[in-house]
Amino acid sequence: MKRAPGSRGIVSAAEVFEKYRAHVNPGLAALVKFMGFDAVEESAQGAIVRDTEGNEYIDCLGGFGALSLGHRHPKVVAAVREQLERMPLSSKILLNDRLADLCQRLAEITPGDLQYSFICNSGAEAVEGALKLARLATGRRGIVGAVGGFHGKTMGALSASGRDLYRKPFAPLVPGFSHVPFGDAEALREAVSGDTAAVILEPIQGEAGVVIPADDYLSAAREICSAAGALLVLDEVQTGLGRTGSLFACEHWGVAPDIMTLAKALGGGVMPVGAFVARAELWDAWRVNPLHSSTFGGNPLACAAALAALEVVIEERLPQRARELGQHTLHALGELRQRFPDAVVEVRGRGLLIGVEFAHEDLAGLAIAGLAQRRVIAAYTLNNPRVIRLEPPLVIEEGQLARALSALGEAVEQAVALLADAGPYQDEPL
Ligand code: PLP
């Protein structure tokens, strides 16, 4: 059935669901239906998504963190429109001013002496490039990651990630990777050797369930890497650009990496954009052309979106907004935990990257379904399904956030009541 532009209610959810079941992924279709999200999204603005029936949802997932600026931020949309009219894709041979401006801007705003950038299309691709650069620049092979870490699902990024459920079906992964418990500096010290090219860490683990390390962990990791001649790769794909209350999460602890990866919010919620940014001396290794490349990476449309996004993050003081709204949210969630101490095990977060940890996975699933009934979009963290993440656009209005939090309270109450008679729970291993 064809839909007239701007019309509502003509595309039937049942029809789209059937196409998902038959041609996208039947498992995904079933999960979406179970959660109660089997409506068809039609348009969005800020923190609000509308479906084809005209229902409005408060978006507390923010596209897994890609929508820090909200849906369709006018400045990003305008920049992309303007670029679209001039030249959306690059000739790949002539110089491109949008790419040059973005790389310069990233050098200006990233911590330490990060100077060169490669612009790509996603977070996993940024991680792949960072890992390749680390091996090339050091001549070493070893990569140390953290248990529970999430860096994407391509082979290299998956090799760096730390959840067996996603890794095992694809073994053997890339050789040379090992994992240590996140937050344990001594374990990291023992794992790093003369053959370690890089240690890759998220400053705050997102998909592990929003895990914040002790205050001295990141600086210890920095010191361990420097002493061993290994590079420190900080994956700020999810934590970067204001999400945790500072422009980059590593700035909470005054630590600068040798290579930083970015994506998600870098596209301003309009375009897919990723980047890895590195110190100048590492970039010397790239001089042999083209050891690394991407047809679409660094395209002018994406760069225009990223440049506008960086401007908005700074102009609208989104890190500060994340900090303030985050404190308020953590306070409200602390009260929720007091109301349901057996169900809500912990609430934790920094800025607007917040995790609500439940006693077991079913409670989290039911709470998400309860949120769906109340038209709040939320999801669990990929490496820890006991944790619901609250990761709304940083531009979310206070009233919208308050409505979402009150819906969460109702959803938890409902989930607890539903499971009250279910008996003792056996959790699956993560
Ligand atoms: N790195 C981190 C820290 C992430 O959270 C993610 C995605 O959630 C990725 C990398 C992968 O990004 P993408 O899904 O764009 O490949």
The 10s digit of each residue's pLDDT in 222-257 is 999 999 999 999 999 999 999 999 999 999 999 999
CATH of the domain at 48: 3.90.1150.10
97-109 helix and 300-315 helix, angle to the nearest 10 degrees: 30
Q: What is the mean pLDDT of residues 100-124?
A: 98
CA of 150 to the centre of ligand 1 (A): 7
With a cut of 70, say whether residue 164 has pLDDT above it: yes
CA quadruple 32, 34, 36, 38: dihedral sign: positive
Q: Which of 5-19, 157-171, 361-375 has the lowest mean pLDDT?
A: 5-19
CA of 122 to the centre of ligand 1 (A): 7
Q: Check residue 297 and give its pLDDT.
A: 98
- 289: confidence class by pLDDT, cuts 50, 70, 90: confident
Same domain, 233 and 264: yes
Q: What is the mean pLDDT of residues 399-419?
A: 97
With a cut of 60, say whether residue 182 has pLDDT above it: yes
25 within some domain: yes
Question: Whose Cα sits closest to atom 5 in ligand 1?
Answer: 238
Same domain, 34 and 134: no
Q: Check residue 262 and give its pLDDT.
A: 99
Question: Whose Cα sits closest to atom 12 in ligand 1?
Answer: 123
Which residues is 56 bridged to in the sheet?
A: 50
Ligand 1 shell residues, CB under 6 Å: 64, 122-124, 127, 150-152, 202, 206-207, 235, 237-238, 263
Structurally, the chain folds into a number of domains equal to 2
Same domain, 83 and 225: yes
Ligand 1 atom with the smallest distance to the CA of 274 is 15
Same domain, 221 and 324: no
**Closest-CA residue to 144 (of 232, 255, 261):** 232
Same domain, 343 and 354: yes
Sheet holding 376-377, edge to edge: 41-45, 48-51, 56-59, 376-377
Q: How do residues 340-357 score in pLDDT, each as one tens digit?
A: 999 999 999 999 999 999
427 within some domain: no
Q: Check residue 425 and give its pLDDT.
A: 55
Phi and psi (nearest 5°) for 179? -135, 140
Which residues is 255 bridged to in the sheet?
A: none
Which of 248, 264, 271, 273 to mutate to test ligand 1, by most ligand atoms within 8 A of the CB atom? 264
Q: How do residues 253-269 score in pLDDT, each as one tens digit?
A: 999 999 999 999 999 99
Q: Check residue 118 and give its pLDDT.
A: 98
430 within some domain: no
Q: Check residue 2 and give its pLDDT.
A: 44
Q: Check residue 290 and give its pLDDT.
A: 79
Contact between 273 and 300 under an 8 Å Cβ cutoff? The reply is: no
The residue out of 266, 299, 315 marking a domain boundary is 315
CA of 318 to the centre of ligand 1 (A): 21
- 8: confidence class by pLDDT, cuts 50, 70, 90: low
- Residues assigned a catalytic role: 150, 235, 264
5 within some domain: no
Same domain, 78 and 63: no
Same domain, 298 and 352: no
Q: DSSP assignment, residue 384? A: E
3 within some domain: no
With a cut of 50, say whether residue 135 has pLDDT above it: yes
Q: What is the mean pLDDT of residues 214-226?
A: 98
Look at residue 140 and give its three-state secondary structure: coil
The pLDDT mean for the chain works out to 95
Instruction: Please give the residue range of the domain that contains residue 36.
Output: 13-68+317-422
Q: How do residues 296-306 score in pLDDT, each as one tens digit?
A: 999 999 999 99
The residue out of 290, 315, 340 marking a domain boundary is 315
- 48: confidence class by pLDDT, cuts 50, 70, 90: very high
Same domain, 203 and 59: no
**Integer Cα distance of 260 and 277 in angstroms:** 5
pTM confidence score: 0.95
> Residue holding tokens 């670029």?
83
Percent of the chain with pLDDT over 70: 96
Ligand 1 atom with the smallest distance to the CA of 236 is 3
The residue out of 269, 300, 315 marking a domain boundary is 315
258 within some domain: yes
Ligand 1 atom with the smallest distance to the CA of 264 is 15
C-alpha angle 78/126/167, rounded to 5°?
130
CA of 379 to the centre of ligand 1 (A): 15
Q: What is the mean pLDDT of residues 136-158?
A: 97
Which of 154, 238, 260 to mutate to test ligand 1, by most ligand atoms within 8 A of the CB atom? 238
Question: Whose Cα sits closest to atom 10 in ligand 1?
Answer: 151
Question: Whose Cα sits closest to atom 2 in ligand 1?
Answer: 151
CA of 131 to the centre of ligand 1 (A): 14
428 within some domain: no
- 420: confidence class by pLDDT, cuts 50, 70, 90: confident
Ligand 1 atom with the smallest distance to the CA of 261 is 1
Q: Check residue 1 and give its pLDDT.
A: 41
- 426: confidence class by pLDDT, cuts 50, 70, 90: low
- 286: confidence class by pLDDT, cuts 50, 70, 90: confident
Same domain, 238 and 282: yes
**Closest-CA residue to 267 (of 294, 297, 295):** 297
Same domain, 303 and 403: no
CATH of the domain at 136: 3.40.640.10
Q: Check residue 285 and give its pLDDT.
A: 85
With a cut of 70, say whether residue 137 has pLDDT above it: yes
Same domain, 181 and 59: no
Q: Check residue 254 and give its pLDDT.
A: 98
Same domain, 375 and 283: no
CA of 102 to the centre of ligand 1 (A): 20
- 390: confidence class by pLDDT, cuts 50, 70, 90: very high
More confident residue, 4 or 395: 395
382 within some domain: yes
- 5: confidence class by pLDDT, cuts 50, 70, 90: very low
Question: Whose Cα sits closest to atom 15 in ligand 1?
Answer: 123
